[in-house]
Structure 1
Amino acid sequence: MKSVHGTEPDMANYDCVVDLLGHAGMFDMVQEIMKSMPMKPDAIMQKSLLGACKIHRNFDLGKKAGLEVIELAPDDHAGYVLLSNLYAMANKWDQVPKLRKSMLEKGIKKPPGCSRSRVYCWRHKAS
């Protein structure tokens, strides 16, 4: 972008690249990009990474991303739900009710019919 168009990539550009590479299962490249970015990864990027990790069954990286999402956006239901689903996929059934209980204690509810992709789209439509 910089060399061809003279434009510095912003967070939305990095979010898209991480989402694409993550869904392609290219986690080494994702981690390289996230480390080399001039800004700290945001909750949207971590949610994209978490979703990709669930698809490709990358539990360790997904758990790390999920905990980051919860730290960066503690009131967002998506991080809790995605991480809970990742725990279930990895047969870490003891963690699922703990995470769901944490949501309830904080008064966080998942709106019916709201998926991760919708949350992602709402964020980018608003910006």
Structure 2
Amino acid sequence: MAPPRGKDIDSRKTAKMGPRRRSLLVGGAALGLLGAAGCSRVSGSGAEDGGNLLERLRSQGTVRLGIAGEIPFGYIDKDGDFTGEAPEIAKVIFKRLGVAKVQPVPTEFGSLIPGLRSQQFDVVSAG
């Protein structure tokens, strides 16, 4: 016979691991955005080495962020505001990197990578 719920040692361990797992996922998403912005090289006009994306974004003051319109990950709400888990993290990260404004570029999920490659946006964020 199984022990009553709540007194099972394994269920208490699992309950304690939830926030750590969630924190790990959020941290991983933040590092992914940081890596996409800080390490990417894109070909720029007249730049032999491809140019540095982060330097360009800092000088522009704006980063174009491709989002797939998936609630709660990244979407434009009924008031027209850009919100969701990934965009909110992106706003904090780019502010710390010296890029003041995050401009949303909504698209379909399947168009995120092709749009990034064709420079429709500078970085992508999707849950």
Q: TM-score, normalized by length of structure 2?
A: 0.25
Q: Which structure is higher in RCO with an 8 Å CA cutoff and minimum separation 6? A: 2
Structure ranking higher in helix proportion = 1
| Higher Rg of the two aligned structures | 2
Structure ranking higher in strand proportion = 2
